[in-house]
Amino acid sequence: MRGGIALCFAVLCAALAEGKVYTKCGLTQELLKKGFSRSLVGNWVCLIESESGKDTSKQVTKANGSKSLGLFQINSKEWCQFGTPGGKCRMKCEDLLNDNITDDAACAQKVHSEVGFKAWDGWTRSCYGRTYPSTIASACIPAPSPQKTSSFKSLFFI
């Protein structure tokens, strides 16, 4: 009985530790909610697909011993610090691995503002110079509805 409870607890903990894997449209909509520009959101989605496979829990250890973490694969060498907030983003690296991407998004935008998309090898390899990124937003987000205009009659005959 105790073994069964321990096994269930271990499975539950493993499930809770797993990150969220976004769909393309879900990711697009989430990035727009986080303030990413509609004109660049296709590049961000392409970058995330190529870097993390849209998985918030992805970790990759680099040859230099640093880690690339989370949805945006932000590198621990320069942008965050393990155990305590630090790096240029002033955040804990562990926070890049949870499902709350608010701080991840802010850090990714900081990386982009300082270095550009070329900070990510996945973007350079998979997204740079391709038309694919520009089609993502239009496929996942409905076009804004046109403004209602007053009819001639309503303008003059109140």
Q: Which residues are catalytically annotated?
A: 51
Which residues are within 8 A (CB) of 82 and not within 5 positions of it... i.e. 6 or more apart? Answer: 76, 92, 93, 94
pLDDT in tens, 10-58: 333 434 456 899 999 999 999 999 999 988 999 999 999 999 999 999 9
Binning pLDDT at 50, 70 and 90, where does residue 139 land?
A: confident
> What is d(CA 71, CA 38) in angstroms, rounded to the nearest whole number?
19
Judge whether residue 7 has pLDDT over 50. no
Q: What is the mean pLDDT of the chain?
A: 84
The reported pLDDT for the residue numbered 137 is: 64
What would the mean pLDDT of 77-88 be, rounded to a whole number?
98
- Mean pLDDT, rounded, for 80-93: 98
In this prediction the pTM is 0.77
Q: Tell me how far CA of residue 48 lies from CA of 7, 58, 78, 83, in angstroms.
A: 34, 11, 19, 25
CB-CB contact of 139 with 29 (8 Å): no
SS (H, E, C) the chain: CHHHHHHHHHHHHHHHHCCCECCHHHHHHHHHHCCCCCCCHHHHHHHHHHHHCCECCCEEECCCCCEEECCCCEECCCCCECCCCECCCCEEHHHHHCCCCHHHHHHHHHHHHHHCHHHCHHHHHHCCCCCHHHHHHHHHCCCCCCCCCCCHHHHHCC
Measured distance CA(90)–CA(54) in Å, rounded: 23
Query: To the nearest whole percent, how much of the chain has pLDDT over 90?
Result: 67
Residue ranges per structural domain of the chain: 19-141
Mean pLDDT in residue range 135-149 = 66
- Domain 19-141, what fold? Lysozyme (1.10.530)
Average the pLDDT over 78-104 and give the result: 98
Whether residue 134 contacts residue 41, with contact meaning beta carbons closer than 8 Å, is answered with: no
- SS3 (DSSP) at 118: helix
Strand partners, 54: none
